[in-house]
Each structure stands twice: as C-alpha cells, then as structure tokens.
Amino acid sequence: MQSEPRNPTVVEKLRRHLISQEGVLFIIMLVSVLFLATRTDKFLTVDNLLQQGRFMTEVGLIAIPMTYIIITGGIDLSVGSILGLTAIVLGWSWQELGFPLELAIGAGILSGTLAGFVNGLFIVRVGVPPLIMTLATLALFRGLAEGISKARSARGYPEWFFELGQGEFLGIPTQLWLLIVAVVVFGIVLARTQLGRALYAIGNNETGARFSGLTVNRYLLLIYTFSGFMSGVAGYIFVSRVSTTRSDMGTGIELDVIAAVVLGGTSIFGGTGSVAGTMIGVVLIQLLKNGLALSGVTSDATIVVIGSVLIFAILVNNFIQTRRGGN
Amino acid sequence: MNKDKSAPTPRHLLDFLGIALAVVIIGAYFLLPFVIQPERGPSTVAVLTESKNANELGLFKTGLEVVPLAALGMLLLGLWNVLAPGAARAISLLMALAGMLALVYYINFFRETALGPPNEWGEGTIIGSLGIAFWIMLGASVAAALQALIPRSVPAPRYRLAKLFGNQESVILFGLLLLMIVIGLANPRYLQERNISDNLAGNAYIAVAALGMTMVIVTGNIDISVGSLVGLLAVISGRLVVAGTPAPLAWLAPLVIGGGFGAMIGFLVAYLRIPSIVVTLGMLSIIKGILIIWAQGDRVRDMPADYFLSQMRPLGIPMPIIIMVVLTIGVALWMRYSATGRAFYALGGNVEAARLSGLSRRRLVMTVFILNGLFVGVASVMYSTQFNIIQATPPPALELSVITASVVGGVSILGGTGTAVGSTMATLLLNFIRSAMVFINVSPFWLKAVQGLLILVTVLADLLRRRRQRL
C-alpha cells in the first residue's frame, strides 16, 4: 500500500510477495521439503506425494470453511464430531434403514449440513459465543453418532463407493481433484467476491460491519452451515477411504484443521487470512508427518515437531510482519 | 455478580450463618460417632452405620448420607453469601431449598428402610424413629428460611424471584438440586454417600484444573494443553516415586515442572505476543509427543503405599475433596480481594483500560500462566495417585472437560468475568449429570449425547439470564 505513484519494479514485487504471510510459510515449506528429501529417497517421489494428497484431503476440505470462520473471528470445534455423525448416518441409513447408497450419502451430508446450520442458528439468533456453542455440540454431535451407531460399524459397501476415497482419475487420487477444485473456487470466493470481503469486514469490526449495512447474521449462518456441509463431504470421503464407519471417526481432527489454518497465517482474532495460506499449512503439516515418518522418526515424535513448527512459524511471521510494519 | 463488589458493604452477623451451619453439621457428623465410641477414632456417621454394630451405637441408617452433602452445599452457599452481599436473600432461599431437599431424602431413605426387611430399630412412630440427622436438617432449613425473612441492617436491593437467577452460581446450583431431586426420586441410591463421595473425589482433579483455567480465561486467554500436561506430569511423578524418591518430593515435582511449563507458555504469550490458543495448541502436540516418546506406552505401577495421596482419608473425608474445597475457597477469596486477582479481571475486561491504569499486561499474563501450571501440577498429582496404575497416555479430552467446566461455571470466554466457586460447582454438576445417567439406566451409547444436550441447556440458560439482565 505505497502512496508513490510509480509502479513497483519486479524485484520489489517479488520481495513483497516473499515477505507476505504466505511467502514466509512457503519458504519454510520448501526448506522442510528439501531437508526431508535429503534424509530419505522415498519421500520426494510422485507416488508418495500423491498418496499424501489422499490423506490430507479431509483436513484440507474442512480447513476451507474453518478459514472463513476464523477470519470472521469465530471458531468451529465441532467439525470432527460432524464428520463422525455424517459417517454414522451414512452407514446407518444404508445398512439399518435400507436406503439406497446414493440416498444414504445424501442423508449423511445433509445431516452434516444440518448440524452446521444448528451451530450457526444458535450463534446468530441466541448469541452464543462460537467457541462455547461448538464446544457443546462437539459433545452433542459425537454423542448422537455414538447413540445412533450403538458401537456397531457398517461395512461391505459396493465397489463403486470406494472410487472417491481409493480410486484415481487421470493418475491423481480422486478426492484430490475435489480438494483442488474446492480450493480454487472457494479461494476465489474469499478473495474476489462480495461475500469474501464481507467476511474480512466482520472479522475486523463486527459492529462496524453491521452499521455498514452488511447482513452479518446471514453471512455467519451461511459459513457455519458451509462448515457443516464440508465436514459432511469429508466424512463421506473418509468412509470411502477406510471402507468402514465408526462413531469415533474424525476425533481430534478439529485441532489439525485449526493448526493448519493458523499456520497458514490466518489470525485467530479474525480479519486476516487466505485459503492459499491455509492450504500451505495443510500441505506442510502432512509433508512433515510423512517425511519424518519415512526418515525413521516415530509418528509420536512427529507431533512434537509439528507443534514446534506451529509456534516457530507464527513467531517468525510475527517478527517479519512487525518489521515490515515498522518500515 | 453485583456491581458493588469493589466496595463491600458492612457485614451482618447473619451473613455468616451458612458457614456456621455447615461447620456445625460437619462437626456433628464427625464428632458424634467419636463421642459415642472414642476408641474407633474419628470416622463419619455413615461409615459407622455400615458396620455391624450400628444398632448398638443407636445410629440409624436412615439418610445420614445426605448430611455431608447438604453441609457442603451450605458451605459453598455461605461463602458465596459473604462474597456477594447483594445476593444474600436469594442465597437464603437456595439454602432453605437445599435443606428441604435433604429432608425429602431423609424421609425417603427412612421409608425404604422401614418398608424393607424387618429391622430392630423401628420405634413405633415414624417421627420417633427418625435419627439425629433429621433434627439437624430440620433446624438448618428453618434457620436458613429465617435468614430470608429477618430484616437486615443493610437494605438489600428489592427482592424479586428473578434475582434468584441473578448469577450463574445460582443457576448451576438450582440445576444441581433439580438433578438430585429428579434422579434421587427415580433411584434413591443415587444419593448414597458412597456414590456422592466417589463422584466428588474421582473428579476433583478436573475441578482443580478448572480453577487454573478459570483464571486464565478471566484474563482473556485460554490453555488447551492441560490434558497433555496432566498426563505427562502424572507419569513423571509416578516414575520418580518408583525410582525411590520420597513421596512428598514426588508430589512436589509436578508442581514445579507444571509451573515451568506455565512460565514457558506465559513467556511466549506475554513477551513474544503469540495468541495463547496458538501457543497452547502447539504445546498440546509437543507435550503429548514428549509423553508418548518418553513413556513408551509403559504404564507406571508398583508405587509405594505412602504415595497414594488421593486415596488418603483424613477424618474420613477423601483427600481430593479436601484439596478441591480448600483450593476453591482460596482462589475465590484471592481473586476477589487480592490486588493481582482484581487485576486479572481488569485485564480481561479491558486491556487498554488496564494498561492505562498502570497494570503490566506482560507480568499479569506471565503470572496467570504460572499459576495455571501450578494448578495443573496439583491436578496431575490428584490424578496420578487415584489408582494403582498411571496410564502413559493423556486423559482423553480432559482439556475439553476443563474448559467446559469453566465456561458453564459462568466464565465469559471473552474474559473479564467468572468465579472460582462457579467453576467448581459446574465441574460437580457436569459429573453428577454423567453419573446420573448410569442410575436412571440411560443406554451408555446415548450418554454423551444427553451430556452434550445438558451442557447446551446450561449455556443457554446462562445466556437467557444475561440477556434479561441487560434489558
């Protein structure tokens, strides 16, 4: 945001991109990838990377609406439970109620959307703070999943059902296509549409946004419902990937998602952030997990590294952004 | 909380009635058997009545179990009465309710005994065979009811029924009473001393961790790493004592290390200005990872007998309950009257105003996280000494239980409000809800759903109350 009229040179443009939130994170990611590649030759192969793409799709899909929500200054802790609920409703309506599988998938995703809608409704209409509302529904939705499933798991799906979770399209895992499309579409929605700008406005100053005539309540209701919908889709992909439904599916995924979003440069206080940054966060976490595991680090040790990277990345970013603000 | 908390009104002697009553009831509960049978040493009435010679002692097994519960309720009420003078009459009413509840149960238990297998204690008339607990409780509830009627030296704000629900503590307390009445009527065994004390003792560590969390949230921060930290500190403590460290040192070590972790988190939040939710999200992974790598999934066992702090029962009261009550009272008084405690509220209420009044944000945030670390340390000792085996994994979803307890207890997640008494009562409520499910035969599969629903209802009740107050 320089006031001089002259056009910035290429070097200046590059420099500005590099020291942006996403730029710093991208550099951290490149460094980690290069480092991991020197540790093991199984890491930097097309097969392995595509496989990792398969694993990170669920987190990635939920991270998109989570970015939206955190930008508005809210949070959704119930996404993991919604994922579990969706999976159970899918399996239960197919096996116990005898729905055709296509309808069961629809019912699953619908129940997820409805769960998100309930979150949004209470947050908007009753004024429950998002953290508290979704903390309560974290228990509630998981409880519903447990109650409906009664500890039974549904398996034995027909072949075509696994296409999304285990199949490939043009050599790339099917669900990765979905993620790519979602990222592009919803990234553009956030950066380039009225809706996206409204979310930033709400996050920066909710009262101000209200007085500027934005329909804040409608936007909030929309994004929490959207969060439920995406968690539902992620639940469907999850079931398709692991071939069974269990009520504890997606437990703790909310922390992975929030970590990815925050790592991606979205301020937890709202007002800033981007889908691109979030995706770098998702990819970075997945690559670290996988690369460290392949280098012989136990999977438990990797969570130490990821926790440290999270704090370190925010620290570096804070430092750079403060310096930049100072200049 | 009422507005005049900064300027305490002069105390009427009656304001302390709740505490005095509680002391009398607890005293009677412990001293009576001791007076009757000194050679047995201090023991509770209920323990004695379970023994074979209960009959010889002249103590009837007719609802004495309720006495410590009612006393605990009165103690909390009395304390709260002193802390919030404006709410005195509402509290009196609640105290009378608590007393009545105890009476209902007393009679209920009696009926069960009388209608059960023939016993030799019956003395003809019902009133004649009611034991000493009945008369204590009757006196207590009459006194409590009187407290509401007696005119006070300080003119209280005009009394309205709505005032009864004027703060979160009374909403929770009312919920707790309602729960006990409903579940107790369905299954009187729910109110047996054994169940109640198991419930209190088994979950006291959550209440202690919630005290630390309450302080953190009051300053406008949050700590989601407590679950992992409790797990790690518990294993450290257990391994130390197995390696031959004296038990008191093994109890102390988690406090020191917990304080250290707290200081680290505080430093990152206060001086490096990373939001606390991000720091503790990272710490959650780091601590959990350290625990799993270091403990290798080996559960700690074969601790020496003198290590089990939580299994000790001085004066017949389980140790965790004592720690919980003492710490709750301590924190409640400290948050209300100490300069630092007030500063926490100021910081959470309005950072800018706090800064302009000369409060050091950095130092306060540092302090609150160190304090939280200490409380997590205490909680982990209570957790690790509970059973004969210490699991090498963090207690599942503990941080959620702790945060939920704080939030249900009336802590605004935005900071600035919340009390220690509320957070402890909320922990009790949540765990009584959990155990109630078992007693009314809710299918275990639906347990979590009902629990989630009830949390939601509590939160909504609180919100509606606040909204009405604002209007």
Pairwise CB contact (< 8 Å): B281 & A141: no
Pair B147, B87: CB distance under 8 Å: no
pLDDT one-digit tens code per residue, A93-112: 888 787 888 888 888 899 99
Decide if B471 touches A, using CB distance below 8 A.
no
Q: Which of B229, B278, B401 to mutate to test the interface with A (most CBs of A within 10 A)?
A: B278
Of B275, B293, B448, the CB nearest to A301: B293
Decide if B349 touches A, using CB distance below 8 A.
no
Domain assignment of residue B29, yes or no:
yes
Q: What is the dihedral of CA A223, A224, A228, A230, to 10 degrees?
A: 30
Query: Cβ contacts (< 8 Å) between A308 and chain B: which residues?
Result: 282, 286
Give residue for tokens 């209420």: B349
Decide if B407 touches A, using CB distance below 8 A.
yes
A253: pLDDT strictly greater than 90: no
Query: Cβ contacts (< 8 Å) between B228 and chain A: which residues?
Result: none
Spatial neighbors of B366 by CB under 8 A, at least 6 apart, are: B263, B266, B267, B270
Q: Are residues B404 and B265 in the same domain?
A: yes
Q: How far is B434 from chain A (nearest CA, A)?
A: 12
Of B282, B459, B463, the CB nearest to A307: B282
Within a 10 A sphere around the Cβ of A205, how many other Cβ atoms?
Answer: 15
Query: Cβ contacts (< 8 Å) between B277 and chain A: which residues?
Result: 262, 268
Q: Are residues B151 and B259 in the same domain?
A: no
Pair B413, A132: CB distance under 8 Å: yes
Beta bridge mates, B390:
B300
Q: How far is A168 from chain B (nearest CA, A)?
A: 33
Distance CA A261, CA A276 (A): 10
Within a 10 A sphere around the Cβ of A10, how many other Cβ atoms?
Answer: 8
A243 Rama class: left (phi>0) / alpha (psi -120 to 50) / beta? left
- Burial of residue A211 (number of CB atoms within 10 Å: 0-12, 13-18, 19+): exposed
Q: Which of A88, A123, A135 to mutate to test the interface with B (most CBs of B within 10 A)?
A: A135
- The DSSP call for residue A288 is H
What is the pLDDT at residue B6? Answer: 39
Decide if B225 touches A, using CB distance below 8 A.
no
In what helix (H) or strand (E) does residue A169 lie, and over which residues does it extend? strand A168-169
Beta bridge mates, A169:
A172
- The DSSP call for residue A245 is B
Domain assignment of residue B5, yes or no:
no
Q: Are residues B406 and B429 in the same domain?
A: yes
Of A132, A139, A141, the CB nearest to B451: A139
What is the pLDDT at residue A1? Answer: 46
The residue-averaged pLDDT of A174-198 equals 87
Domain assignment of residue B141, yes or no:
yes
Q: Are residues B164 and B254 in the same domain?
A: no
Of B277, B446, B456, the CB nearest to A268: B277
Distance CA A186, CA A188 (A): 5
Pairwise CB contact (< 8 Å): B463 & A302: no
- The DSSP call for residue A122 is I
B362 Rama class: left (phi>0) / alpha (psi -120 to 50) / beta? alpha
Pairwise CB contact (< 8 Å): B455 & A136: yes
What is the value of ipTM here, to two decimals?
0.76
CATH number of the domain enclosing B439: 1.10.3470
Spatial neighbors of A30 by CB under 8 A, at least 6 apart, are: none
Pairwise CB contact (< 8 Å): A262 & B400: no
- Total of domains in chain B: 2
Give the amino acid at B109: F
Distance CA A127, CA A113 (A): 20
Q: Are residues B246 and B174 in the same domain?
A: no
Pair B48, B40: CB distance under 8 Å: yes
Q: Are residues B235 and B256 in the same domain?
A: yes
Is the pTM of the predicted complex or chain greater than 0.80?
A: no
Within a 10 A sphere around the Cβ of B361, how many other Cβ atoms?
Answer: 16
Per-residue pLDDT of chain B (471 residues; tens, 9 = 90+): 344 443 444 555 556 666 666 666 666 666 655 555 555 555 555 555 555 444 444 444 444 555 666 666 666 666 666 665 555 556 666 666 666 666 555 555 554 544 444 444 443 334 434 445 555 566 666 665 555 555 444 444 444 445 555 666 777 777 777 777 777 777 767 766 667 778 888 888 999 999 999 888 888 888 888 988 999 999 998 888 888 888 888 888 999 999 999 999 999 988 888 888 888 888 888 888 888 888 877 787 777 877 787 777 776 677 888 888 889 888 888 888 888 888 888 887 777 777 777 778 888 899 999 999 999 999 999 988 888 888 877 787 788 788 888 887 777 666 666 778 888 888 888 888 888 877 777 777 787 787 788 778 877 776 776 666 555
Q: Are residues B181 and B217 in the same domain?
A: no
| Chain A interface, Cβ < 8 Å to B | 122, 126-129, 131-133, 135-144, 146-147, 149-151, 255, 258-259, 262, 267-269, 298, 300-308, 310-311, 314-315, 318
Q: Which of A82, A303, A306, A316 to mutate to test the interface with B (most CBs of B within 10 A)?
A: A303
Q: Which of A134, A206, A310 to mutate to test the interface with B (most CBs of B within 10 A)?
A: A310
Q: How far is A181 from chain B (nearest CA, A)?
A: 29
Of B272, B446, B463, the CB nearest to A128: B463
Pair B423, B405: CB distance under 8 Å: yes
Domain assignment of residue B85, yes or no:
yes
Q: Are residues B173 and B224 in the same domain?
A: no
Pair B228, B288: CB distance under 8 Å: yes
Give the amino acid at A189: V
Domains of chain A: 39-320 (1.10.3470)
Give the 3-state DSSP-derived string for chain B, with helices as H, strands as E and coil as C: CCHHHHCCCCCCHHHHHHHHHHHHHHHHHHHHHHHHCHHHCCCCHHHHHHCCCHHHHCCCCCCCCHHHHHHHHHHHHHHHHHHCHHHHHHHHHHHHHHHHHHHHHHHHHHHHHHHCCCCCCCCCCHHHHCCHHHHHHHHHHHHHHHHHHCCCCCCCCCCCHHHHHCCHHHHHHHHHHHHHHHHHHHCHHHHCHHHHHHHHHHHHHHHHHHHHHHHHHHCCCCCCCHHHHHHHHHHHHHHHHHCCCCHHHHHHHHHHHHHHHHHHHHHHHHCCCCCHHHHHHHHHHHHHHHHHHHHCCCCECCCCHHHCHHHCCHHHCCHHHHHHHHHHHHHHHHHHHCHHHHHHHHHHHCHHHHHHCCCCHHHHHHHHHHHHHHHHHHHHHHHHCCCCCECCCCCCCHHHHHHHHHHHCCCCCCCCCCCHHHHHHHHHHHHHHHHHHHHCCCCHHHHHHHHHHHHHHHHHHHHHHHHHHHC
Instruction: Tell which of B191, B212, B234 closes a domain.
Output: B191
Pair B89, B154: CB distance under 8 Å: no
pLDDT one-digit tens code per residue, A27-84: 888 888 888 888 777 777 777 788 888 888 889 999 999 999 999 988 888 898 999 9
Q: How far is B293 from chain A (nearest CA, A)?
A: 6
Domain assignment of residue B6, yes or no:
no
With H, G, I as helix, E, B as strand and everything else as coil, classify residue A168: strand
Q: Are residues B290 and B388 in the same domain?
A: yes
Domain assignment of residue B184, yes or no:
yes
Instruction: Tell which of B146, B163, B191 closes a domain.
Output: B191
Q: How far is B234 from chain A (nearest CA, A)?
A: 19
What is the pLDDT at residue B262? Answer: 93
Q: Are residues B244 and B180 in the same domain?
A: no
- Burial of residue B27 (number of CB atoms within 10 Å: 0-12, 13-18, 19+): exposed
Q: How far is B85 from chain A (nearest CA, A)?
A: 29
Distance CA B103, CA A126 (A): 38
Cα–Cα distances (Å) from A276 to A17, A185, A281, A283, in that order, read 13, 11, 9, 11
Over pLDDT 90: what percentage of chain A?
Answer: 15
Q: How far is B373 from chain A (nearest CA, A)?
A: 19
Q: Are residues B271 and B140 in the same domain?
A: no
Q: Note down the domain range covering B401.
A: 201-470
Mean pLDDT check: name the lowest of A15-19, A211-215, B7-11, B279-283.
B7-11
Give residue for tokens 């009473």: B177
Q: Are residues B150 and B221 in the same domain?
A: no
**Which residue, B194, B195, B205, B203, is CA-closest to B438?**
B195
The residue-averaged pLDDT of A295-319 equals 77
Distance CA B427, CA B406 (A): 8
Q: How far is B351 from chain A (nearest CA, A)?
A: 15
Query: Cβ contacts (< 8 Å) between A149 and chain B: which residues?
Result: 445
Q: How far is B191 from chain A (nearest CA, A)?
A: 26
Domain assignment of residue B3, yes or no:
no
Distance CA B178, CA B173 (A): 8
CA A130 to mean position of chain CA atoms: 17
Pairwise CB contact (< 8 Å): B281 & A310: yes
- Shortest CA distance from A300: residue in chain B: B289
What is the pLDDT at residue B26? Answer: 64
Of A129, A137, A303, the CB nearest to B289: A303
Instruction: Tell which of B191, B214, B231 closes a domain.
Output: B191
- Shortest CA distance from B286: residue in chain A: A304
Domain assignment of residue B1, yes or no:
no
Decide if B275 touches A, using CB distance below 8 A.
yes
Give residue for tokens 């409000």: B417
